[in-house]
């Protein structure tokens, strides 16, 4: 009897192992949003790790999360390390490549709760109407444990929600900045026009009448 039970367990484990092994060895999670703002605003916000606290979906999950910066201030070579609660874990990001107003590539190193290394890629594409389509993607390899985890958890749905939240916040803050910038420009133009008109009136008043 025990031999039959043991044999059944072995067969079951082999079957589970085969199912896990058949899972894809790579993954890619991607979300996009359209932002009505000059491309330099969303690009600059992503390109500077110091600004991530204003839009990153994980900043809200742990307001007490500890962060540290190293390397370049922004752009390639800049490093951002974090350590927080169970929802954010511990890890490090290194900005490895940036094509101005086109793309940003980041190496993600997760240290806790489980070690893993992935790649994040942001792309910025004009839509033709003055807006920018910003795409946030993450891709990497899955080991046996990662494949097993994917049997029970939909990673695309779980992480995709965080991407959607982060992109929505990025859209809000950059569109607000674009609006504020436009209003400042209009105010400056109006002030310059008023000063020019005043100067012309003063010049005309100072001109002797023939």
Structure tokens at 120: 């994040």
Top-confidence range, 4-8, 170-174, 189-193? 170-174
pLDDT digits (tens, 9 = 90+) for 141-174: 655 455 444 444 556 777 889 999 999 999 999 9
Q: CATH code for 23-197?
A: 3.30.530.20
| Model pLDDT, residue 157 | 75
| Model pLDDT, residue 5 | 57
Strands in the chain per DSSP E: 26-35, 66-71, 78-83, 90-99, 103-112, 116-126, 132-141
What angle (nearest 5°) sits at the alpha carbon of residue 65, between those of residues 154 and 147?
20
Alpha carbons 40 and 88: distance in angstroms, whole number? 28
Q: Taking the complete model, does pTM exceed 0.85, yes or no?
A: no
User: Which of 103-107, 162-166, 174-178, 189-193 is predicted least confidently?
Assistant: 189-193
């Amino acid at each position: 009897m025990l031999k039959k039970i043991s044999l059944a367990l072995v067969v079951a484990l082999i079957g589970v192992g085969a199912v896990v092994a058949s899972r894809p060895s790579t993954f890619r999670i991607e979300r996009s949003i359209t932002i009505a703002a000059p491309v330099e605003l969303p690009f600059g916000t992503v390109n500077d790790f110091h600004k991530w606290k204003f839009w990153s979906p994980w900043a809200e999950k742990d307001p007490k999360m500890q962060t540290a910066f190293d390397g370049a201030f922004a752009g390639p070579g800049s490093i951002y390390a974090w350590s927080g609660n169970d929802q954010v874990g511990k890890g490090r990001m290194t900005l490895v490549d940036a094509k101005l107003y086109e793309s940003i590539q980041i190496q993600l190193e997760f240290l806790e709760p489980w070690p893993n290394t992935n790649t994040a890629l942001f792309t910025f594409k004009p839509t033709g109407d003055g807006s920018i389509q910003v795409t946030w993607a993450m891709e990497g390899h899955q080991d046996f444990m990662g494949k097993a985890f994917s049997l029970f958890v939909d990673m695309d749905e779980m992480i995709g929600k965080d991407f959607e939240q982060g992109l929505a916040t990025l859209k809000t803050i950059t569109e607000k900045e674009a609006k504020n910038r436009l209003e400042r420009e209009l105010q400056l133009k109006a002030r310059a026009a008023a000063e020019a008109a005043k100067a012309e009136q003063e010049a005309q008043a100072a001109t002797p009448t023939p």
